[in-house]
């Protein structure tokens, strides 16, 4: 029984799962849209939205709060160029939006294994 077990295992062990999520979020912020399976999109959607909220809320903070927010984001992603893009380009676009920065569009089953494919993208106003 999986009572009170949070998150998606995605059929992988812990290290591979963490690497997969990190790579998917990096690609998502780089291209602002990725095509992936429904389970993988559900696994990274919350993390991506939390990072955008972190970047958005740090814009109004002090220098110490801004630095702390960048360090938290780097610990999740580990890429300085991507953090700069997140804080300077992506987060300001959602300054007035209270949440819901991503959209999931269903694409249908994949031909090889019939996995449900989706398009995960940033919402544009």
55-107 confidence digits (pLDDT tens): 999 999 999 999 999 999 999 999 899 999 999 999 999 999 999 999 999 99
Cβ(22)–Cβ(76) under 8 Å?
Answer: yes
Q: Can you tell me which residue has the tokens 């958005």?
A: 56
Q: Are 59 and 109 in contact (CB under 8 A)?
A: no
* Residue 2: strand, helix, or coil: coil
Instruction: Give the per-residue pLDDT at 57.
Output: 95
pTM, entire model: 0.92
């Amino acid at each position: 029984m999986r009572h009170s077990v949070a998150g998606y295992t995605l059929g992988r062990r812990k290290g591979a799962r963490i690497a997969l999520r990190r790579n998917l979020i990096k690609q998502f912020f780089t291209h602002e849209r990725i095509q992936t399976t429904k389970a993988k999109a559900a696994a990274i959607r919350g993390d991506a939205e939390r990072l955008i909220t972190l970047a958005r809320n740090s814009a109004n903070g002090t220098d110490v709060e801004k630095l702390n927010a960048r360090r938290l984001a780097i610990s999740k992603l580990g890429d300085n160029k991507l953090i700069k893009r997140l804080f300077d380009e992506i987060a300001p676009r959602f300054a007035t939006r209270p949440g819901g920065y991503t959209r999931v569009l269903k694409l249908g089953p994949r031909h090889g294994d019939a996995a449900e494919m989706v398009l995960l993208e940033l919402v544009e106003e």
